[in-house]
Structure 1
Amino acid sequence: MNRLHPLSAVTYAVQYGFLWLWLPVFLVLVLSGVFDPVSPAWFPVAAPIGFLFGTLYGVVYYYRFGYAVTTDTVDVSSGVVARRSREIPYGRIQNVDIRQSVFQRLLELATVSIETAGGGTTEATLYFVSEEEANRLQREIRRRTAEAKGRRRERTRQRRQSADSATASDEPTEDAAVDADAERAGDDAPSPSVDDETGEREPPADPEQTFEPDSPTYSRKQRLFDLAPRELLLYSFTSFRPAAVAAVLFVFFLATESILEFFVAASQPFGGPADLDTGNTGSYGILTIVSAIISVLVTYLLSVAYTFATYYDFQLGRVGDDFVYERGLLQRYSGSIPAEKVQSVTVTDNPVQRLIEYAGLWVETAGYGPESNGGSQSAVPLAQQGRVYTFTENLTDVETPTFRSPPPVARRRYLVRYSLVAAAFVAVAFGVAYTTPLENWYFAAVVFLAVPLAAHLRYVHIAYYVGEDHIVIRSGFWRRRTTVVPYYRVQTVSVRRSIFQRRLGIASVVVDTASSRSFFWSSTTIYDIDLEDARAVQRTSRKRLQSSLRERAEADDIGISVDFT
């Protein structure tokens, strides 16, 4: 078993020291209320004792933590009192990610996370190893994982060939013997594989063979995309991160009085009140407007800085059948997107990006994803639309879609919906004017002017295409998403109708895949189409799902192409 970097002992010691520091303090606090001899004055003595025991526990935890890369599995052992030993087969490993904070990069340390298919959490995390060791582990585990998957695919071919030969003849064949040997040896037994570069069959892998981590077959990386400085700036200034809102709210709650004083001072040159206690309706209105403008501007600038730092020096490449990426300024990430786990591909853009003819490309994978969006991961943060569409076509082999739109009755539905929203806004304005000195609440009715435009924009950006091999769905105005879903990735296709949709004779079609869902990204949905069209889409999708599964089984295809040449 290998140990973590020695600095990990210091990290664990400090972490558990501060954690255990509060245990005796809590006990003293509880016991002092029950037993008179126990006094809160014992806090200065109890806290250092807890910190000392926590520090010792952290050091012992470091020495009891070990990892090893074996022929068939990645083994990780941990725990002081309750021991936990994990053997992670290479066939289940999905991602091997490397993270480095600013301080870790200065110390040449890294955190290695091993993700498995179908898991919602990290299977194993190594805090911390040297940067050189992290890169070695990533290369070696990726290579062994590729070999395990290659052997599995080759055994599948052999089983199919054996079955075909057995049907043609009752005599035993060489393929049948090989298949029987492979079955007896188990899933991780060595078997002939096919070289991805030459297409020639290689000899069986020796389970006792010592693999070289720097073997050209597994370390060769083909670069697919680099985010140029101009594209990084465009992406930073034309996108928005919800985390910026949370950061602004957090700072506001920490320093509410200071921020309010700043808002008052900033509004005074424009006619704002001298302080919060004195002022009239007009000055308070100016204060509200100035405060809102400053808040929006600060939030936007934080979003720009966050996006810039997150996607700085973004690089996308491929190694074997996996996409690999690197990004980050303050915290550096290095991870992978297994091609065989890709469920759907989504082109995203917002009004500003559409105006300058740029777009982004995201992929959704089954199981855990290292991004904040669960299984959604950015493959191309931002590039010219033509380049993104070419990437999408090369990635999915999707045909050029001929989109269909919902019926005109859907537009009327959106008109009614947004009219109700506008009416609710006016009602709120009336309530505020009724309970406060504010007047002229009826000016809020100006929002009704935006209702027809909002309904039209909602309607024209909904479209769908039912192709031979893919279903393509587009929706959204502020964040438009055009999602390409191969039929073989479809889990369920359901037709849903609300009370209002039943009255209008329309329905929505929900296409679910095995990808993770997030708070911001929901299931891919075709909204408000004719009921008969919705049922036709459902029937066609189910039929083509079965045919595509049969075709892939015959071709033994991993699904997503990674050839961008």
Structure 2
Amino acid sequence: MNRLHPFSAVVYALRYGLLWLWVPFFLVTALAGTVAAVSIAWLPVVTALGFLFGAAYGIVYYYRFEYGITPDTFDVASGVVARRSREIPYRRIQNVDVRQGVLQRVLGLAVVTVETAGGGNSEAALQLVSKSEADRLQHQIRRRTAGVDADDPDRATSEASEDGRPLDDEPLDEQPSRVDRTPETPPASETRPRREPTEPSRKRLFALDSRELLLYSLTTLRPAALAAVGFLFFFATDTILDFLVTLSQPFGGPQDLQTGDTQSYGVLTVVSMINGIVITYLVSVAYTFATYYDFRLGRVDEDFVYERGLLQRYSGSIPAEKVQSVTITDNPLQRLIDYAGLWVETAGYGPDSSGGSQSAVPMARAAHVHRFAENLTHVETPAFASPSPIARRRYLVRYSLIAAVVVAAALALAQVAPLERWYLAAVVFAAVPPAAHLRYVHLGYYVGEDHLVIRRGFWRRRTTVIPYFRIQTVSTRRSVFQRRLGIASLVVDTASSRTLFWDTPTIYDVDLEDARGAHRTGRKRLQSALRERARADDAGFSVDFT
């Protein structure tokens, strides 16, 4: 078993020291007002003792943290009082990420996280190992994972010694098995020198150039930027509020927050909202640029490998045999300039998850992305079927109701505020027909021979290609209104995880008979695909998609 880098002891000491100093601080502060024997003057002493105790705990935690590579599992043992030992089978490992911040890159250190099927959270995190050790772990775990997925139980054991380190890098079919050896034939390890395996050659598949990175940053809105700006405004200080008041004054805003009237406060609200949108956009551009700076996608054996990041550098691998689905994404701005992106999802590990990016191609020409997707999945060019025409009427009614709510809200506001032209809010009804039409025309599905393709969304359109053998469940759902209209939605679920902004692929609002037919076809082709895949031992995806 191995230990983390010695600098980890410093990190754990500071982390637990700062955590534990607050315990006596709050305890003494609470008791000083109620117990006469406790004095507030004890705070410097007790907080120092708390920090020392926490620092000592962190150092002990460092010495009690161990990890190692075995023939069948990746093992991690941790804990001071309560010990926790984890044995992670290679067949469950989805990804091994290596992350480096600015200081870590200067010091030659890295954080290694191991992702498994069944959730987006990390199964194991190694805080601060050397960069060379991180690369070794990533390489060796990837080799053993590939060996397990190839249904070769002897592959992992033939590459490992008793301490879990590799002995030889020759193909297994060139190594004599134990059964074939005789006393007259010495073991191979005695007739040739042992050598450490080298990293397999990496073939570059895609690199995000400067122009595409800038376009991607300018045409993408990151949810993290929206959350950051919202947090900033929620905890707005007097300086920020005074700055917003100053910006609104040329447009009729109040001189200060105490002396304004209803009209000036309205101007302040509008100007603040506009500034919030601009700031959110700028933060999103900066965040996207820093996150996907120098993005490179490559191929090592049967895995995708990627690197990205400016301030914090990420690297990881995406096993091709564990890809659940492939999704092409675009938004109105990207469609306007004929660009799109390509994302992949693995079991329990979806796009924008905490473990790292699952973007295969953040942004490229739409024609190139579609060709990448077809070569990656071997899917035939889909001929999309549209939802039932009655769905367009449903969307028209739905958006009309939303517009009516907006007008009603304006009317209610006019009852408590001097809003004379509240009826101008009815202009939102003009957006109802185009909104219903755009939602309808961007929905579609294709039931192919080997894949199910689902397209949905307008502001962020997603076209998902799902091999039949990756489908976990297919369910037909009908709301009260859908039952009255004779339509249904078909939900297709895989083993990949979902996030707030990535929903389950769904075929929306098709005729009930079409939904049942697609359901039956999907079930039949799922069984056929599983039988054919078992005979051919095919992963279903190709890593050579250039």
Q: Which residue matches 1:122? A: 122
Q: Which residue matches 1:165? A: none
Q: Which residue matches 1:349? A: 330
Q: Are 1:456 and 2:433 counterparts?
A: no
Q: Is the 8 A contact 1:375 1:517 kept in 2?
A: no
Distance in structure 2 (CA, Å) of the matches to 1:213 and 1:113: 24
Change in Cα spacing, 1:252 to 1:443, as seen in structure 2 (3 Å) is same
What secondary structure does 1:516 align onto?
coil
Change in Cα spacing, 1:501 to 1:34, as seen in structure 2 (3 Å) is same
The worse-fitting range, judged by mean Cα deviation, of 110-119 and 65-74 is: 65-74
How big is the alpha-carbon RMSD for the aligned residues of Structure 1 and Structure 2?
Answer: 2.5
Change in Cα spacing, 1:26 to 1:200, as seen in structure 2 (3 Å) is closer
Q: Which residue matches 1:552? A: 533
Distance in structure 2 (CA, Å) of the matches to 1:556 and 1:59: 48
Q: Which residue matches 2:59? A: 59
Matched residue type, 2:91: G
Deviation at 1:243, TM superposition (A): 1.1
Q: Which residue matches 1:441? A: 422
Change in Cα spacing, 1:419 to 1:352, as seen in structure 2 (3 Å) is same
Change in Cα spacing, 1:96 to 1:419, as seen in structure 2 (3 Å) is same
Q: Is the 8 A contact 2:350 2:498 kept in 1?
A: no
Q: Are 1:392 and 2:380 counterparts?
A: no
* Cα deviation 1:516-562 (Å, max 9, x = unaligned): 11111111101111111111000100010011111001111122121
Q: Which residue matches 1:287? A: 268
Matched residue type, 1:444: A
Deviation at 1:376, TM superposition (A): 7.7
* Cα deviation 1:329-373 (Å, max 9, x = unaligned): 111111111111111111000001001000000111102458437
What secondary structure does 1:265 align onto?
helix
Q: Which residue matches 1:305? A: 286
Change in Cα spacing, 1:233 to 1:205, as seen in structure 2 (3 Å) is farther
Q: Is the 8 A contact 1:462 1:476 kept in 2?
A: yes
Distance in structure 2 (CA, Å) of the matches to 1:284 and 1:450: 28
Distance in structure 2 (CA, Å) of the matches to 1:494 and 1:361: 26
Aligned match for 1:479, one of 460, 463, 488: 460
Deviation at 1:92, TM superposition (A): 2.9
Change in Cα spacing, 1:558 to 1:27, as seen in structure 2 (3 Å) is same
Matched residue type, 1:250: F
Distance in structure 2 (CA, Å) of the matches to 1:212 and 1:349: 48
Change in Cα spacing, 1:188 to 1:142, as seen in structure 2 (3 Å) is closer
What secondary structure does 2:358 align onto?
strand
Distance in structure 1 (CA, Å) of the matches to 2:11 and 2:443: 52
Q: Which residue matches 1:23? A: 23
Q: Which residue matches 1:516? A: 497
Q: Is the 8 A contact 1:315 1:327 kept in 2?
A: yes
What secondary structure does 2:99 align onto?
strand
Q: How many residues align?
A: 525
Q: Are 1:529 and 2:503 counterparts?
A: no
Q: Is the 8 A contact 1:493 1:538 kept in 2?
A: yes
Change in Cα spacing, 1:212 to 1:80, as seen in structure 2 (3 Å) is farther
* Cα deviation 1:167-211 (Å, max 9, x = unaligned): xxxxxxxxxxxxxxx8xxxx96669xxxxxx99944467899798
Pairing 1:159-174 to 2, within 5 Å after superposition: none
Change in Cα spacing, 1:119 to 1:454, as seen in structure 2 (3 Å) is closer
Matched residue type, 2:387: P
Distance in structure 1 (CA, Å) of the matches to 2:355 and 2:110: 22
Q: Are 1:250 and 2:225 counterparts?
A: no
Matched residue type, 1:426: V
Q: Which residue matches 2:410? A: 429
Point out where structure 1 has 5 or more consecutive residues left out of the alignment.
156-181, 192-197
What secondary structure does 2:259 align onto?
coil
Q: Are 1:402 and 2:383 counterparts?
A: yes
Q: Which residue matches 2:166? A: none
* Cα deviation 1:289-340 (Å, max 9, x = unaligned): 2222111101100000000011000011111111111101111111111111
Q: Are 1:327 and 2:270 counterparts?
A: no
What secondary structure does 1:344 align onto?
strand
Q: Which residue matches 1:48? A: 48
Change in Cα spacing, 1:273 to 1:29, as seen in structure 2 (3 Å) is closer
* Cα deviation 1:485-540 (Å, max 9, x = unaligned): 11111111111111111111111111111111111111110111111111100010
The worse-fitting range, judged by mean Cα deviation, of 137-146 and 479-488 is: 137-146
Distance in structure 2 (CA, Å) of the matches to 1:375 and 1:106: 21
Q: Which residue matches 2:80? A: 80
Q: Is the 8 A contact 2:5 2:130 kept in 1?
A: yes
Q: Are 1:237 and 2:190 counterparts?
A: no
Distance in structure 1 (CA, Å) of the matches to 2:221 and 2:188: 52
* Percentage identity across paired residues of the two chains: 68
Matched residue type, 1:428: A
Distance in structure 2 (CA, Å) of the matches to 1:406 and 1:288: 41
* Larger RCO: 1 or 2 (CA < 8 Å, sep 6+): 2
What secondary structure does 1:219 align onto?
coil
The worse-fitting range, judged by mean Cα deviation, of 354-363 and 64-73 is: 64-73
* Cα deviation 1:108-167 (Å, max 9, x = unaligned): 1100112223354322211111112211221222223223333x2x47xxxxxxxxxxxx
Q: Which residue matches 1:268? A: 249
Matched residue type, 1:66: E
Q: Are 1:228 and 2:242 counterparts?
A: no
Q: Is the 8 A contact 2:344 2:350 kept in 1?
A: no
Deviation at 1:76, TM superposition (A): 2.3
Q: Which residue matches 1:367? A: 348
Deviation at 1:77, TM superposition (A): 2.3
Matched residue type, 1:255: A
Matched residue type, 1:494: S
* Cα deviation 1:452-491 (Å, max 9, x = unaligned): 0100101110111111111111111100011111111111
Matched residue type, 1:557: D
Matched residue type, 1:145: T
Distance in structure 1 (CA, Å) of the matches to 2:239 and 2:382: 55
Change in Cα spacing, 1:445 to 1:319, as seen in structure 2 (3 Å) is same
Q: Which residue matches 1:94? A: 94
Q: Is the 8 A contact 1:374 1:516 kept in 2?
A: no
- Normalised by the length of structure 2, the TM-score is 0.91
Change in Cα spacing, 1:135 to 1:276, as seen in structure 2 (3 Å) is same
- Normalised by the length of structure 1, the TM-score is 0.88
Distance in structure 2 (CA, Å) of the matches to 1:456 and 1:464: 17
Q: Is the 8 A contact 1:281 1:438 kept in 2?
A: no
Matched residue type, 1:121: N
Distance in structure 2 (CA, Å) of the matches to 1:72 and 1:509: 40
Q: Which residue matches 1:70? A: 70
Deviation at 1:56, TM superposition (A): 1.1
Deviation at 1:85, TM superposition (A): 2.8
Distance in structure 2 (CA, Å) of the matches to 1:56 and 1:564: 52
